[in-house]
Amino acid sequence: MAVHVRPVLLMLRRCIAVATVVVAVQFLAPAGAAERPERPPAESGSLADQIDGLIDEARELPVAAPADDAEFLRRLYLDLMGTIPPAEETRAFLDDPSTDKRTRLVDRLLASPQHARRMQVWLDVTLMERRGDTHVPSAEWQEYLRRAVLKNRPLDELVREILAADDTDPARRPASKFYLDRGGELNLLVRDVSRLFLGRDLQCAQCHDHPLVGDYEQQHYYGLLAYLSRSFVFSADNQPTVFAEKGVSDPVKFQSVFSPDDTYETLPRVLESEPPAEPQFPGGQEHVVAPADGVRPIPKYSRREQFARDLACADNRAFALNWANRLWALMMGRGLVDPVDFHHSDNPPSHPELLDLLADELVASGFDMRHLMRSIASSATYGRSSALPDGIDPKTLVPEQYASGPLKPLTPEQLCFSLLEATGIAAAHRAAVQQELTTGDPRLGELLAVDSARERLADEVAEQRVYSRLQGNLGAFISLFGAPGGSPQNNVQSTVHQALFLSNGGPLVGWLAPGSSQLVDRLAKLSDADAIAHELYLSALSRPPNDLERGQVAGFLAARAEELAKAVSELAWALCTSSEFRFNH
Amino acid sequence: MKCNHACGSQEHGLARRSFLGTMLGAGASAGLGTLVRPAAAEELQRQQKRVLVCYLAGGVSQLETWDPKPRTDTGGPFRAIPTSVPGVHISELLPHTAQQMHRLMLVRGVNTNENDHGKGSYIMQTGRRREPSTDYPYMGSLAARLLAPEGAALPGYIHITPGGGGSISAGEAAFLGPRYAPVVLGNGNPPQNTALPDAVSVTSDAARQSLRRQQDERFLRRRRTALTEAYTSTYDQAAALMAQREVFDVSKESEQDHERYGTHDFGRHCLLARRLLENGVTFVKVSHSNYDTHNENFNFHIEQLGEFDRTFATLINDLADRGLLESTLVLVLSEFGRTPRINHLYGRDHWGTAWSIAMSGCGLQLGGTVGATNDNGTEVVDRQVDGGHLFHTYLRALGFDPTDQLTVDGRPVQIADPAAEAIEEVLA
């Protein structure tokens, strides 16, 4: 067997051309203390214009009209808050005559504690893909993510913390979930690091250069693996399991299944970048704590910390492109590179300049997710109606032309929370929590009412309490509407079981049952059909009914005057299961 | 570092152009687990191939069933009896099944080298060893995807379990997506949520569904996409499934048939399986528990096989009589067999090293055995096979090429483990 130790730069070879996480909310310390200063809105405005310019110049189809206020409000709420807006919020927004109300809405939502929750869910689902818990409880990990978003911590810093996590700092224990709850499986970690942080699914390159994607080489796979090959899951009696690391390792060698006689070797490196300069220690002196039976080693030099620095940084273009693309996909329903983990030269972005621009902006803003989302939300492209102009067959739509607002299926969480909102349950819990906070504990009420920083804190506490009251409803939705644990969650399949769940056996029927439904009982007390129609559409579809719909509701209710509540319940069910509800449009 | 994952080396024959073509298609539709349905599948749909699996959960003993070793140190107390096929003997605990031997093929050289329940079960139902980075679909999900007619009202993959509630076990479909996940019928009860709730009358349901359709019609006129079509069609599928709820009602079968199958749960479940197969369900798995006999192996096998034997023989006989056996692949599987060594509790332990399964139907060579173990059953001495070989064989029997590629998130994946191939001698 020939062993070629190749200089890294010459490695050019293609074998084939192809909790009631009322987590220590410290009541007296403002939670947002470490918050970064917001960028002036003018800059996001100009980025929004650039986005529109690049999208418009590449489009051939005629475009849809701008979304009206109701459509925009619902879309923005779902994207930034993870749920449809409360009816009173919709009413207020529609009644507000000011011209800058959309801009103010974007800013207000981005600063709200509910936005931190929405992004917590998104980051958790993106990074852990609904894997079961093994070593780090989800509640702790999710709270860690929520607080990071609440403080608008730079995304690169957060990822560095996750990739460097070694449990030496107990406060950062949750960050080690990424490694530990994948069982420290090296091949799984390399695949997921490449997919989730570099936008490249390098799995095929484990055994050989990717047969069909020239850019994905086996040396890339093993370059990443070399950063992690000193790491291992360490357990000792009476101590939490940790992802530990040794200070030494054998060189990482690999061979292609196509030419098993040739063995190659690689240093740690991220894709095509140079291997890091690593400190060398005399043999036997590589550790602060040397490995021994039952003893967790601590190396003088951590390759994993180096990994975090080399991968999650402004100089790593793949990292910036990956996150710019994923944030665009979050807002616009598809990546500029699609699928989001398939960046390579034969699958170019639909709008290369735009992706570059967004990545530049992400880097320049210090990996500020809020800044990017604000800019996208402020663009005309984002704010376009999902209804195509007359005369265009929706089936001829080319999604990457962004001629109309995209239809995005609600995630399991969005669907569950939106149904809780539409049926009046969320509002009832919000009211109960307000009651708790103002009268339940007078001292708390006083503390929270002192100044505006405290007011923010009050919002945060209220959000946490409402969430903890509602989160028990999520499980059934996740198991039926989500993808299986451990697989990508950004695609959904509609199944007959979902329809059966919403129609017959799931909680929705109970949430709309006359006599016990917040929504139905409220509406059934209203004086006339017109008022019922108005409230119903506002609550479920976040818009007033049009004349045709008003007429239909009136006709339907007139024929059922004997059993009005039941008829209202049927109407409400129909709206909650309609496509208009099921999709963010 | 040596590669131990076989991720499909056949794909290298694929031209880049055709690969990119597939990718574009995938991008335009669902994206996840997009599978190019082999053209042959259309033809197969017309032939309505089906699969029935009797899953003897916990690990049935091969020595008390298909590969007895009487009068040896490992053989235990039971005799071997002659069957309807001269020269083939099986355990005396299966007298009725013995009379169906001309309709069975025994695979006696199975070595999956896996003694863990979960991992063994995965191997036997996906044809691969578990890998940390990829989950593969169970054969029921694959059958639902490849064989079930498009638009069928009934689920393509049904799993009848001894007890417990109903559920959807999404993980088994892996990258094929939850549409192909098994619908679990706990203790043979109809699928979850297929009856209207008490509070909703038939008229009330009709009213709300019609309101929903009106609302959709308005909204979708200028927004209809493949995703919205997929969503709205699930309500039609739900109505169709609810209308066919009687298919799941085994009490509609004759009293005489209930007697013939046995009045115990497994008998009822197998009768239900026959009913489902006759009504066009593609893949039915019936689990029979529990064969995990670490102690009192012999007593428990008398008990368990006492239920299994007559019921299974009746089912095979019925499928043959009704002309269904030609198009139905029947498998009797476990996650592993049991140790030849008898432990101090008169039990046998987990044993994936030398054990047996039984197959029938679907044009297989029947009335014989393939593979063999040594005199006291401690190792395979002829035609050793593992889960991969078996999986290839099932696919071939169903008319598929196990080396066909699926495209999963842009990655080609061979349907069956590239490291294995079919047991040619049992294929017709």
Work out the pLDDT band at A467, boundaries 50, 70, 90: very high
Is B398 in the A-facing interface, judged by CB distances under 8 Å?
no
Work out the pLDDT band at A499, boundaries 50, 70, 90: very high
Nearest by CB to residue B12, choosing from A16, A388, A488, is A16
Nearest by CB to residue A579, choosing from B11, B199, B220, is B220
pLDDT for the residue A36: 59
Counting one residue from chain A and one from chain B, the pairs whose CB atoms sit within 8 A come to: 231
CA distance A169 to chain B (A): 28
CA distance B265 to chain A (A): 26
Contact between B288 and B57 under an 8 Å Cβ cutoff? The reply is yes
Work out the pLDDT band at A446, boundaries 50, 70, 90: low
Mean pLDDT of A116-134: 96
Mean pLDDT of A253-268: 92
Is B73 in the A-facing interface, judged by CB distances under 8 Å?
no
Bridge partners for B332 per DSSP: B54, B358
Work out the pLDDT band at A226, boundaries 50, 70, 90: very high
Which positions ≥6 away from A584 have C-beta within 8 Å? A74, A75, A78, A79, A407, A408, A409, A410, A414
Instruction: State the pairing for strand pair B183-186/B337-338.
Output: unpaired
| Closest chain B residue by Cα to residue A563 | B204
User: Is residue A490 pLDDT above 80, yes or no?
Assistant: no
Interface of B with A in 24-53 (CB under 8 A): 27-28, 30-32
Peptide bond into B290 cis (omega under 30): yes
Is B118 in the A-facing interface, judged by CB distances under 8 Å?
no
CA distance B150 to chain A (A): 13
As a whole number, the mean pLDDT across chain A is 89
Suggest the residue from A185, A481, A579, A583 to mutate for an interface test with chain B (most B CBs closer than 10 A).
A579
Mean pLDDT of A405-424: 97
Which positions ≥6 away from A72 have C-beta within 8 Å? A102, A383
ipTM of the complex: 0.89
Mean pLDDT of A478-484: 89
pLDDT for the residue A35: 55
Q: Do A18 and B16 touch (CB under 8 A)?
A: yes
Residue, of A393 and B338, whose pLDDT is higher: B338
Residue, of A137 and B148, whose pLDDT is higher: A137
What DSSP string describes A483-506?
PPTTS--S-----HHHHHIIIIIS
Nearest by CB to residue A484, choosing from B1, B170, B411, is B170
pLDDT for the residue A447: 67
Mean pLDDT of B349-371: 97
CA atoms within 13 A of residue A384's CA, in its CB half-sphere: 26
Mean pLDDT of A455-473: 93
User: Is residue B26 pLDDT above 60, yes or no?
Assistant: no
- Torsion, CA A524, CA A529, CA A533, CA A534, rounded to 10: -100
User: Is residue B23 pLDDT above 80, yes or no?
Assistant: no
User: Is residue A358 pLDDT above 90, yes or no?
Assistant: yes
User: Is residue A474 pLDDT above 80, yes or no?
Assistant: yes
Mean pLDDT of A363-380: 97
pLDDT in tens, B383-406: 999 999 999 999 999 999 999 998
Mean pLDDT of A443-457: 71
Mean pLDDT of A72-97: 98
pLDDT for the residue B16: 27
Instruction: Give the C-alpha separation, B70 to B298, whole Å.
Output: 13
**Coil, helix or strand at residue A157:** helix
Residue, of A117 and B164, whose pLDDT is higher: A117
Contact between A90 and A542 under an 8 Å Cβ cutoff? The reply is yes
User: Is residue A547 pLDDT above 70, yes or no?
Assistant: yes
Q: Do A493 and B3 touch (CB under 8 A)?
A: no
User: Is residue A308 pLDDT above 70, yes or no?
Assistant: yes
Mean pLDDT of A96-116: 97
Suggest the residue from B20, B193, B235, B281 to mutate for an interface test with chain A (most A CBs closer than 10 A).
B193
- The secondary structure of chain B, three-state, reads CCCCCCCCCHHHHCCHHHHHHHHHHHHHCCCCCCCCCCCHHHHHHHHCCEEEEEEECCCCCCCCCCCCCCCCCCCCCCCEEECCCCCCEEECCCHHHHCCHHHCEEEEEECCCCCCHHHHHHHHHHCCCCCCCCCCCCHHHHHHHHCCCCCCCCCCEEEEECCCCCEECHHHHHHHCHHHCCEEEECCCCCCCCCCCCCCCHHHHHHHHHHHHHHHHHHHCCCCCHHHHHHHHHHHHHHHHHHCHHHHCHHHCCHHHHHHHCCCHHHHHHHHHHHHHHCCCCEEEEEECCCCCCCCHHHHHHHHHHHHHHHHHHHHHHHHHCCCHHHEEEEEECCCEECCCCCCCCCCCEECCCEEEEEECCCECCCEEECEECCCCCCEEECCECHHHHHHHHHHHCCCCCCCEEEECCEEEECCCCCCCCCHHHEC
Work out the pLDDT band at A203, boundaries 50, 70, 90: confident
Q: In A, which residues are within 8 Å of B211 by CB distance? A: 556, 570-571, 573-574
Nearest by CB to residue B410, choosing from A339, A486, A497, is A339
Is B228 in the A-facing interface, judged by CB distances under 8 Å?
yes
Residue, of A34 and B4, whose pLDDT is higher: A34
Suggest the residue from B215, B220, B245, B408 to mutate for an interface test with chain A (most A CBs closer than 10 A).
B215
Nearest by CB to residue A387, choosing from B31, B222, B410, is B222
Q: Which residues of A379-395 are buried (b: 16+ CB within 10 A; e: fewer)?
A: bbbbbbbbbbeeebebe
pLDDT for the residue A27: 34
pLDDT for the residue A37: 55
Work out the pLDDT band at B17, boundaries 50, 70, 90: very low
pLDDT for the residue B2: 38
What end-to-end distance do the CA atoms of chain B give, in Å? Answer: 42
Q: In A, which residues are within 8 Å of B215 by CB distance? A: 574-575, 578-580
Instruction: Give the C-alpha separation, B186 to B161, whole Å.
Output: 5
Work out the pLDDT band at B83, boundaries 50, 70, 90: very high
Measure CA A506 to chain center: 26
Nearest by CB to residue A493, choosing from B16, B177, B411, is B177
pLDDT for the residue A386: 95
pLDDT for the residue A22: 34
pLDDT for the residue B365: 96
Q: Which of B271, B284, B370, B387 is nearest to B330 (CA)?
A: B284
**Coil, helix or strand at residue A517:** coil
Is B222 in the A-facing interface, judged by CB distances under 8 Å?
yes
Q: Where are the domains of chain A?
A: 412-584
Instruction: Give the C-alpha separation, A325 to A199, whole Å.
Output: 9
Tokens matching residue A501: 């769940």
**What percent of chain B stands above pLDDT 70?**
89
Mean pLDDT of A290-303: 94
Q: Do A494 and B230 touch (CB under 8 A)?
A: yes
Nearest by CB to residue A501, choosing from B19, B193, B207, is B193
Q: In A, which residues are within 8 Å of B7 by CB distance? A: 203-204, 206-207
Mean pLDDT of A505-512: 94
Mean pLDDT of B154-166: 89
**Coil, helix or strand at residue A569:** helix
Mean pLDDT of B98-108: 98
Instruction: Give the C-alpha separation, A392 to A63, whole Å.
Output: 10
User: Is residue B35 pLDDT above 80, yes or no?
Assistant: no
pLDDT for the residue A451: 67
**Coil, helix or strand at residue A343:** coil
| Closest chain A residue by Cα to residue B180 | A495
Nearest by CB to residue B175, choosing from A255, A390, A487, is A487
pLDDT in tens, B302-320: 999 999 999 999 999 999 9
Distances (CA, A) of A133 to A142, A177, A292: 12, 9, 29
Mean pLDDT of B352-372: 97
pLDDT in tens, B217-235: 999 999 988 889 989 999 9
As a whole number, the mean pLDDT across chain B is 88
Q: Which of A299, A308, A294 is nearest to A248 (CA)?
A: A299
Instruction: Give the C-alpha separation, B132 to B119, whole Å.
Output: 12
pLDDT for the residue B329: 98
pLDDT for the residue B212: 98
Q: In B, which residues are within 8 Å of A65 by CB distance? A: none
Work out the pLDDT band at B335, boundaries 50, 70, 90: very high
Is B11 in the A-facing interface, judged by CB distances under 8 Å?
yes
Q: Do A500 and B193 touch (CB under 8 A)?
A: yes
Bridge partners for B364 per DSSP: B427
